[in-house]
């Protein structure tokens, strides 16, 4: 989507696909910058939050509760978009999103952008490309998680998202991979 945006203007200037003056002018009212502390909860399970966020700086974890235990679904860092896609269809989120670090985010108002999409083909195609990217990203995750022996799942994650192992506690990663934290610790020892 965009690389290393620090402000709304950065974001709109550098985003992919490129936007014309008129499209950025239309989009701008629906974007805002927010600074939030570690452990802030952006999205709550079973609720509709109405926003998606681009991470300028920081990190987040996504997880849902299953019989009282946290099951992790992903971790995001700079230049990634977080927030439930289900918002676009007015479906409640299935996961919580919490900040792992102090963060700076750009918030997008979904309802406003969806209205724009009906009128402006450039905005429609911009969102289109972003959602397509997300779908392809989900496919990648699906393939990696589908790997059978635990050590291959571990290797796939390490190969495709090494940053996770630098910035996320092992316990959360184990929960994402569907293995116990002890097993992950032992796998990593090799």
Partner DNA sequence: GTAATTTTGTGATATATATCAAATGAAATT
Partner DNA sequence: AATTTCATTTGATATATATCACAAAATTAC
Residues engaged in binding a second copy (CB under 8 A): 71, 73, 85-86, 88-89, 91, 94, 117-121, 124-125, 127-128, 131-132, 134-136, 138-139, 141-143, 145-146, 148, 178
**C-beta of 77: minimal distance to a second copy in Å?**
20
Residue 14 binds to DNA (criterion: CB under 7 A)? no
In angstroms, rounded to a whole number, what is the distance separating the alpha carbons of residues 58 and 81?
Answer: 12
**C-beta of 88: minimal distance to DNA in Å?**
32
**Which of 44, 150, 155, 158 lies at the binding interface for DNA (CB under 7 A)?**
150
Q: Looking at 46-54, 60-68, 132-140, 171-179, which segment touches DNA (CB under 7 A)?
A: 171-179
Which of residues 67 and 89 has its CB atom nearest to DNA in the complex? 67
Q: Is the peptide bond before 17 cis (omega within 30 degrees of 0)?
A: yes
Measured at the alpha carbon of residue 149, what is the angle toward residues 148 and 154, in degrees to the nearest 5? 100
Residue 119 has a CB neighbour count (10 Å cut-off) of 9
The burial class, CB within 10 Å (0-12 / 13-18 / 19+), for 85 is middle
Q: How far is CA 56 from CA 78, 102, 104, in A?
A: 5, 11, 5
For tokens 């007015």, name the residue. 90
In angstroms, rounded to a whole number, what is the distance separating the alpha carbons of residues 88 and 3?
Answer: 24
Residue 146 binds to DNA (criterion: CB under 7 A)? no
Which of residues 40 and 86 has its CB atom nearest to DNA in the complex? 40
Residue 178 binds to DNA (criterion: CB under 7 A)? yes
**Which of 114, 125, 151, 155 lies at the binding interface for DNA (CB under 7 A)?**
151
């Amino acid at each position: 989507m965009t690389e290393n945006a620090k402000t709304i203007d950065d974001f709109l200037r550098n985003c992919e696909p490129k936007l014309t003056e008129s499209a950025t002018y239309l989009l701008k009212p629906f974007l805002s910058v927010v600074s939030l502390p570690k452990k802030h909860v952006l999205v709550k399970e079973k609720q509709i939050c109405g926003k998606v966020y681009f991470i300028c700086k920081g990190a987040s974890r996504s997880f849902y509760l299953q019989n009282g235990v946290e099951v992790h679904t992903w971790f995001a860092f700079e230049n990634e978009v977080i927030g439930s896609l289900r918002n676009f269809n007015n479906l409640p989120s299935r996961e919580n999103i919490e900040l792992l670090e102090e963060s700076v985010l750009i918030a997008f108002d979904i309802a406003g952008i969806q209205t724009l999409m009906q009128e402006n083909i450039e905005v429609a195609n911009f969102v289109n490309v972003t959602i397509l990217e997300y779908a392809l990203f989900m496919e990648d995750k699906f393939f990696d998680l589908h790997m059978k022996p635990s050590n291959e799942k571990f290797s796939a994650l390490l190969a495709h998202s090494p940053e996770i192992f630098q910035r996320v506690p092992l316990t959360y990663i184990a929960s994402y991979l569907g293995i116990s934290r002890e097993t992950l610790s032992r796998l990593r020892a090799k």
